Structure 1
């Protein structure tokens, strides 16, 4: 591993400071009420420095959120390939919900969802981008389920993908507005299992 120069270390420190400060300000004041200028003033750096590290304000929260992609790759590798597609989907979502609960947390997710609902975010934002690893994994399992006759043939893979994405977002939203007694992983499993059962062949 190459040793970082003092300049590289300083740049990493600045990036982390911008990231942490931005998230703190978003949580305190609301994403839409925080400007890049406020972030840079709090960090005592220029706007140019901010844009060197992040193309936009929204990219700050996505930087943290995209850590999920590496997590999904790990989950995928650990799933038994002989399981039915529906069980694989439930396992991925179960691990995802645990990660959101224990690692990401409500504060960051509220910020992500709030930002996604403002007009400051492009229409094809990260939450629904088909290139996200989670959606690629799910699409693989859906296609597998259709090919093996597990899922109905009269419903397209794209429609099934849309339905299970909505399962995920609906449960996360409910978790964000409920008290701490809302178990995201178990609620997600129950809700998604019912939807998947309705999509199975012969149901």
Structure 2
């Protein structure tokens, strides 16, 4: 593989600086109150440079979500394939909640959620796109659970996925508005276990 040129290295450094500065400003002032002009001024670059790296300021937020999706791929590889589907889902969520708590943190996640809510959400919006890795993994576990008789068959995979996905969003939202005594991983496990029990064959 050819090494990067000095120009390419400079471009990567600029992109990283724009990403880091944008997130810091979003966290400090609120996503909706930060303009591209403020970001570029803080980085001492032109608006054109910003748009070379990010089509919009919202794409800065999406970059962080894509990092999360890369993390999910790693988690999937480490989950025991012989476990029941419900256990796999719980393990996936447990690792996700630990990552959100220890790596992403409340401030950044609050900024990401705020940005998602203030952006014009369309049907193919990235956060709800079925192409996201987390949803693909979840679908495979649900399909497996139905096929092996663990989950009920009167609901579609997409319906089950919606229910299970809302477990995550509800718990993350609660975590964001509670004090530090709210343990995200523990609350997620308890809540999701109850929901999954309702989806199992009795």
Residue 120 of structure 2 corresponds to: 121
For 1:183 and 1:52, how far apart are their aligned partners in 2?
40
1:82 — aligned with what? Answer: 82
Question: Does residue 62 of the first structure (1) align with residue 62 of the second (2)?
Answer: yes
Q: How does the TM-score come out when normalised to structure 1?
A: 0.96
For the Cα contact (< 8 Å) 2:61–2:115, is it kept in 1?
Answer: no
Partner of 2:148: 148
Aligned to 1:14: 14
Structure 2 Cα separation of the partners of residues 44 and 73 of structure 1: 36
TM-score by length of 2: 0.96
Question: Aligned-pair distance for 1:42?
Answer: 1.0
Aligned residue pairs, count? 201
Partners of 2:121 and 2:45 lie apart in 1 by 26
In the alignment, what sits opposite 2:45?
45
Structure 1 residue 108 and structure 2 residue 114: aligned? no
Moved more, 77-86 or 121-130: 121-130
Equivalent pair of 1:116/1:125 in contact (CA under 8 Å): no
RMSD of Structure 2 on Structure 1 (CA): 1.0
Q: Name structure 2 gaps, 5 residues minimum.
A: none
The alpha-carbon deviation at position 5 of structure 1 amounts to 1.2
Report how far residue 65 of structure 1 moved: 2.3
Deviation at 1:121, TM superposition (A): 3.5
Partner residue in 2 for 1:160: 160
- Structure 1 residue 130: deviation in Å? 1.0
CA distance in 2, matches of 1:19, 1:3: 23
Distance 1:125 1:29 in 2: 24
Aligned structure 1 segments of 4 or more residues deviating by more than 4 angstroms? none
Aligned position for 2:93: 93
**Alpha-carbon distance in 1 for matches of 2:133, 2:45:** 34
Match of 1:182 in 2: 182
1:130 and 2:130 correspond: yes
Per the TM alignment, residue 133 of structure 1 is displaced from its structure 2 partner at its CA by 0.3
Within 1, Cα distance between the matches of 2:152 and 2:37? 52
Distance across 2 between alignment mates of 1:103 and 1:37: 29
Task: Give the whole-Å Cα distance in 2 for the aligned partners of 1:185 and 1:2.
Answer: 43
Shift of 1:170: 0.4
